[in-house]
Amino acid sequence: MNLRLLLLLAVFLVSLPGTIGAREIRLKKGEVYRDRDLAVICEGGQARTSGLGQPIALRECQYWDDFTKKCLFEKTIYSYGELECVEECQYWDSFSNTCDYKSKCTFYSQQEAFVLKTCTEFDDNSRKCLKTREEKIGLGR
């Protein structure tokens, strides 16, 4: 190749835009970045929750006995970032004051999601759940 052509090619490659002058802009919820005809708005609705650790479990009385002033059954509310899953009594036997079926939350940290298992068909005679359903509770539902 001609030396002049190599020199011209080298100058051309150096003048190409690359990652040398790349910019990184981090926005907080509600902030807006504008550059000429480009506007980037951070809404925060699908924010990543990585690094939050394990879900927080809060307990609340679902069935209260006014006579003994005691809680007969507590439901558990699991929170992880913006996600929430509730374990509660779906089928309560008021005669014996017991829960015959309680929903179940399972947390999957890699997917940052809960799976809620509920009873969709309950047999009142045998007091057993005949059919269950699992539902994913996550940011990308």
Show the tokens assigned to 29.
């919820």
What are residue 133's DSSP bridge partners?
118
Q: Which amino acid type is present at position 43?
A: E
pTM of the model: 0.62
- Tens of each residue's pLDDT in the chain, 141 residues: 555 544 555 555 555 555 455 566 666 666 676 777 676 666 555 445 455 689 999 999 999 999 999 999 999 999 999 999 999 999 999 999 999 999 999 999 999 999 999 999 999 999 999 999 999 999 865
Q: Which of 96, 101, 49, 51 is nearest to 75 (CA)?
A: 101
- Domain residue ranges of the chain, discontinuous segments joined by +: 56-138
